[in-house]
Amino acid sequence: MPTESPFLLIGPFRQLLSLADLPDRGPISDGALRPLPEGGLLLRGEQIYRAGPFGELMKEARALAASVVELTDDFVALPGWVDAHTHLCFAGSRARDYALRNAGQTYLEIAQAGGGIWDSVQQTRQATQQELVELTIQRANRHLRNGVTTIEVKSGYGLSVAEELKQLRAIKAAGQQVAADLIGTCLAAHTLPRDYSGTPEAYLAEMAELLLPVLREEGLAHRVDAFLEQGAFSAEQIAPYFAEAHRLGFQLTVHADQFHPFGSRAAVAFGALSADHLEASGPAEIQMLARSSVVPVALPGASLGLGCAFAPARRLLDAGASLAIASDWNPGSAPMGDLLAQAAILGTFEKLTAAEVLAGITYRAAGALGCADRGRLQPGLLADFLLFPGRSYQEILYQQGQLKPAQVWKRGKCVHSSTRPA
């Protein structure tokens, strides 16, 4: 019997934004986007085989005996969104924290009174692993419907060896049941748990000795994160923990400069992939990040949730840094969890071009995760892409998250559609 061709052609799109030729660092003008009219994508299994004019690809498709999805409605095609920083594996709510902040209390005051991270730790510990799996699946699927095809997911609401393992096992199990790629990150160094009687150094040593080897053995995470901030951990305290994580082969990332500007310096010193938050970064931190290979990650959802300044995205780009934009979806400071809306709002306040915003939630975000196989629509990369209704990409950010993708394609398959392909 004849075998089915692995090739699939889809198009034509009114505009195809491949983002293939955009720079990895620094500012980007909208003129660099160069949307291709009447473009198409020729897929081979999970990867992009060709991107180009639909008419030319149709000739190649016939020679390859490819299946064809020929579109008659107006669509704009772009790479799938990449959310490089979330905490969406959690149980419970922190609506009380939100009300207290709006009534004038600070993030640190609420945490000291028993709210904040510790509140989420207690609620998450009370949940079973299966309950966490189901909650993570629900949130990941909502993200997927909104166009997020790769989702980083942190632990950090367990804060003991057993509870961190429960969270990371739940993340792994959820990842096997959703179409989006879930990338687990160990955030055992989120804060010192209140029920731990030892020092921060002893807690981190315990996590390094008893938790990290199990993560590697079970394949639960290849990334390790830490919150470097007053009330959490210092750079000096985290150094031995990060050294052991690096020795074991983990990638590093840092919650940096959220309230005080010292975490980004540690991120550069430790060779982290990314430094996330950066709301408190000043001129010295901006220049230091721009001279390094660390990807700055802005988290506008946290600024909206806390009512504080945004990360200095414009100044970071103008200094020559890369810039990723992530949702920070979490139960406390960033409960909205809408990556596109947050990125559009950040663009408005920081005066980012559409090209800079789109780069920040696609290939530059993939760079913050060390994922070189996605984020652009070019041969050899994953066929993760979105089809938005309309004739112009400018409508996507203009509508600030209210325009949703009509189709979401993940690894060459349509995994969500409000208009099924023919």
How many structural domains are present in the chain?
Answer: 2
Q: What is the mean pLDDT of residues 42-62?
A: 98
Confidence band of 3 (pLDDT split at 50, 70, 90) = low
Same domain, 131 and 214: yes
Q: How far apart are CA 332 and CA 17, in angstroms?
A: 35
Q: Is residue 360 part of a domain?
A: yes
Residues 6+ apart with CB under 8 A from 271: 246, 252, 293
Report yes or no on 1 lying in a domain.
Answer: no
pLDDT for residue 420: 52
Residue 8 has pLDDT above 80, yes or no: yes
Q: Is residue 178 situated within a structural domain? A: yes
pLDDT tens digits for 309-366?
A: 999 999 999 999 999 999 999 999 999 999 999 999 999 999 999 999 999 999 999 9
Please, what's the b/e burial string for 347-377 (b: 16 or more CB within 10 A of its CB; e: otherwise)? beebebbbbbbbbbbbbbbbbbbebeebbbb
Dihedral of CA atoms 202, 208, 214, 217 in degrees, nearest 10, equals -170
Q: Are residues 384 and 293 in the same domain?
A: no
Residue with token string 């305290």: 237
By 3-state DSSP, what share of the chain in percent is helix, strand and coil, each rounded to 5? Answer: 40, 20, 40
Residues 246, 179: one domain? yes
Are 332 and 86 spatial neighbours (Cβ–Cβ below 8 Å)?
A: no
- What does pLDDT average to over the chain? 96
> Is residue 2 domain-resident?
no
Of all residues in the chain, what percent carry a pLDDT higher than 70? 99
Question: Does residue 331 have a cis bond before it (omega within 30 degrees)?
Answer: no
Kindly state whether residues 208 and 105 are assigned to the same domain.
yes
CATH code assigned at 53? 2.30.40.10
- Do 174 and 314 sit in the same domain of this protein? yes
> Looking at residue 111, what is its pLDDT?
81
Asked if the structure places residue 134 within a domain, the reply is yes
CB–CB of 174/187 below 8 Å? no
Res 110: pLDDT: 85
Q: Are 330 and 352 members of one domain?
A: yes
Of residues 5 and 18, more confidence is placed in 18
| Separation of alpha carbons 144 and 180, rounded Å | 6
- Chosen domain end from 368, 392, 407: 368
Asked if residue 2 has pLDDT above 70, the reply is no
Percent of the chain, pLDDT > 90?
93
Copy the structure tokens of residue 237: 């305290």
Q: How confident is the model at residue 64 (pLDDT cuts 50, 70, 90)?
A: very high
- Residue 413: strand pairing partners: 410
State how far the Cα of 134 lies from the Cα of 127, in Å rounded to an integer: 11
**pLDDT tier at 422, thresholds 50, 70, 90:** very low
Do residues 31 and 42 both lie within one domain? Answer: yes
Place of tokens 């491949």: 18
Residues 76 and 93 in one domain: no
- For residue range 131-151, list pLDDT tens digits in order: 999 999 999 999 999 999 999
Q: Say if residue 39's pLDDT is above 70.
A: yes
Same domain for 316 and 230:
yes
What amino acid occupies position 282? G
Q: What's the pLDDT tens digit per position in 206-222?
A: 999 999 999 999 999 99
Tell whether 228 and 239 lie within a shared domain.
yes
75 shares a domain with 45: yes
Map 90-148 to HEC letters: CCCCCHHHHHHHHCCCCHHHHHHCCCHHHHHHHHHHHCCHHHHHHHHHHHHHHHHHCCE
Which domain, by its residues, includes 23?
Answer: 7-80+376-417
- Alpha-carbon distance values, 314 to 279, 280, 352, 362 (Å): 12, 14, 7, 18
258 and 337 share a domain?
yes
> Is 348 domain-assigned?
yes
Closest CA to 362 of 51, 72, 84, 167: 84
